[in-house]
Structure 1
Amino acid sequence: MNKLGGQVIDTSPMYGSSERVVGDLTHNQDFEDNFFYATKVWTSGKEAGINQMETSFKLMRREKMDLMQIHNLVDYKTHVKTLRDWKEIGKIKYWGITHYTDSSHAELEKVIQSEKPDFVQFNYSILSRNAEKSLFEVIRKNETAVLINRPFESGNLFRSVKGKPLPEWAKDYDINSWGHYFLKFILSNELVTCVIPGTSKPHHMIDNMMAGYGKMPDTKTREIMYNYIKNL
């Protein structure tokens, strides 16, 4: 992952044993400090939030966290106070908010405008473009960094193109798989900082990473890409 330019590790207390695995795999390794470590808090109450986040630090074996996110905006007004304090003392570098549904975008906009998080994570894909209505504009005005989740719509995009060839012109943009096609559409959006597709298969991870290389589509080409998929 790191050799191909990947740095962001986005995990969560809700993702089974992932935090512990991250800690076990990276602790005391030469590459330990080469990554951008991000995790989340997903509980209500100040002390419960602090306890959950402290557990994440221990499991991931981190003294400092690059990014701590308030997952699905759960009790965000409480956690924001803690995270601002932690950022002030250097315990975390950045803090952010997350959600994964179109219906949450309006609330994300309000929180971005009122609380000014460093990062926002939300769903966006070539066929799920609700964020383009106004969320991206709020992000632009507030200079918020962006993590994109559900870029493949939980695999639905791959199922929709199964057995279908890539368009011939895709090669002009170094698109050699449907994974590249879907990811380059997102990565070419200038407001997107990072895309976080999830996979348990190493060869899929490598293919995903390669989407960050080569020529990126411009605005006109992105619409051509969208229309091609929409009309399949």
Structure 2
Amino acid sequence: MPSRRHFIQGSASLLALAATPWLPSLAYAAPSQLLKRAIPSSGELLPVIGLGTSRTFDVSLSNDSLKPLDSVMRTFINGGARLIDTAPSYGAAEAVTGELLKRTKTQGKAFLATKISATGRERGMAQVEASLQALQTDKLDLVQVHNLQDTRTQLALLRELKAEGKVRYIGITHYIESAHNDLLEVLEKESVDFVQLNYSVGERNAEKRLLPYCADHGIATLINRPFQRGQLLSRVKGKSLPSWAMETDATSWAQLLLKFILANPAVTVVIPATSNPRYMADNLKAGIGRLPDAALREKIIQAFS
């Protein structure tokens, strides 16, 4: 059975990526098959597989550094995905994202999500202006208050920018379970379109209150740390995929982890990060086919426990 490092070419419904000399056999998911979910505040549909850029896109703008990421971006966009999540605090990730979209001529196809991680209105505004420049755009699809830093001030600023048409959606983020109550406190007081949080087989606290609250109050969710920075995949390294995984149409452990997350209807988009185009193609396949029911979700939990 396939492992994370054994990419399966898939069925005839998969399309071949434009030939690349150093990666001739790459394939990606047919865009029409990729599951989409609505942003509750608008009804706009988003493909459920997104792309995180923390660490993986923090590289120089040299051709050698961008070469594999160029194929990641082409695989992502050509596979029908849209949402790219980045941040000023991710080093060069915003500038790399902007350059890759320009190089691949896909600037109008991406849903750009970035963040504010500053204290004070002026510094927050400066970050937004810098993000617009780095991402080479005049409008940001989503800006999130990163890790709840100066939340009230920055949300007030983002509402102004939304009214001016510079920002389409606003949100808040965190990446650790101990902050989930803090996220809930903000959501109970402030109106936002999105909340970004950590959720995975190994970190399930969000199932208790946060995800149900978002579902009940019409808040879109972005899910970070789906593999817990690779820790979950390390647990099954060298192990064969169980036969019951076929009931979810998963062909890799990574797809099984992503499908576990997507099986929760409160999840809008999951944003795994990668600098490997083969892994990008593999991740996209998690957004196609069946999702696990309650019994299969329990089997997935046991497989990673």
Indicate the TM-score class for this superposition, using the shorter chain for normalisation.
Answer: over 0.9
Equivalent residue runs for 1:80-99 within 5 Å? 80-99=155-174
| TM-score normalised to structure 1 length | 0.95
3-state SS of the aligned residue for 1:33?
coil
Aligned residues: 230
The one-letter amino acid of 1:128's match is E
* Equivalent-residue separation in structure 2 for 1:144 and 1:133 (angstroms): 16
For the residues of structure 1 that align with 2:80 and 2:295, how far apart are their CA atoms?
27
Tell me, yes or no, if structure 1 residue 138 matches structure 2 residue 213. yes
Does residue 57 in structure 1 map to residue 138 in structure 2? no
After superposition, where does 1:153-232 map in structure 2 within 5 Å? Answer: 153-230=228-305
SS of the residue aligned with 2:226?
A: coil
Mapped contact 2:161–2:167 kept (Cα < 8 A): yes
Alpha-carbon offset, residue 213 of structure 1:
0.8
Preserved CA contact (<8 Å) 1:96 1:118? yes
The partner residue of 1:47 within 122, 145, 149 is: 122
Indicate yes or no: 2:83 matched with 1:8. yes
Q: Counterparts of 1:196 and 1:226 in 2: how far apart (Å)?
A: 20
Please give the alpha-carbon distance, in whole angstroms, between the structure 2 residues aligned to 1:16 and 1:122: 21
Once the two structures are TM-superposed, the CA of residue 229 in structure 1 deviates from its matched residue by 2.5
Cα distance between partner residues in 2 of 1:3 and 1:27 = 15
Asked whether 1:104 is paired with 2:217, we answer no
Deviates more, 1:136-145 or 1:39-48: 136-145
TM-score normalized by the length of structure 2? 0.73
Kindly state the Cα deviation for residue 71 of structure 1 after the two structures are TM-superposed: 0.3
CA–CA separation in structure 1 for the residues paired with 2:275 and 2:100: 15
In structure 2, how many angstroms separate the alpha carbons of the residues matched to 1:225 and 1:159? Answer: 15
- Which structure has more relative contact order (CA 8 Å, sep 6+)? It is 2
What secondary structure is seen at the aligned counterpart in 2 of 1:225? helix
Shift of 1:25: 2.0
Deviation at 1:164, TM superposition (A): 1.2
Which consecutive aligned stretches of 4+ in structure 1 deviate over 4 angstroms post-superposition?
A: none
Q: Which structure 2 segments of 5+ residues have no match?
A: 1-75
Distance 2:296 2:99 in 1: 42
The answer on whether the counterparts of 1:113 and 1:142 sit within 8 Å (CA) in structure 2 is: no
Render the CA deviation track for 1:74-111: whole Å, top value 9, x for unaligned.
00111011001111121100000000000000010111
Higher helix share: 1
Give, in angstroms, the shift of residue 29 of structure 1. Answer: 5.8
Which secondary structure does the structure 2 equivalent of 1:126 belong to?
A: coil
Q: How many angstroms apart in 2 are the aligned matches of 1:183 and 1:120?
A: 18
* CA deviation vs aligned residue, 1:42-86 (integer Å, no higher than 9, x gap): 011110110011100011111110000100000011101100111
CA distance in 2, matches of 1:95, 1:219: 32
Aligned partners of 1:113 and 1:138 also within 8 Å: no
* Structure 1 CA distance for aligned equivalents of residues 303 and 277 of structure 2: 29
CA contact (8 A) 1:116 1:142 kept: no
Alpha carbon RMSD of aligned pairs, Å? 1.2
Post-superposition offset of 1:27: 3.2
Match of 2:67 in 1: none
Q: Is the 8 A contact 2:250 2:286 kept in 1?
A: yes
* Mapped partners of 1:97, 1:115: distance in 2: 10
Residue 222 of structure 2: SS of its match in structure 1? strand
Counterpart secondary structure, 1:19: helix
Letter in 2 for 1:26: L
In structure 2, what residue type is equivalent to 1:201? N
Amino acid at match of 1:10: D
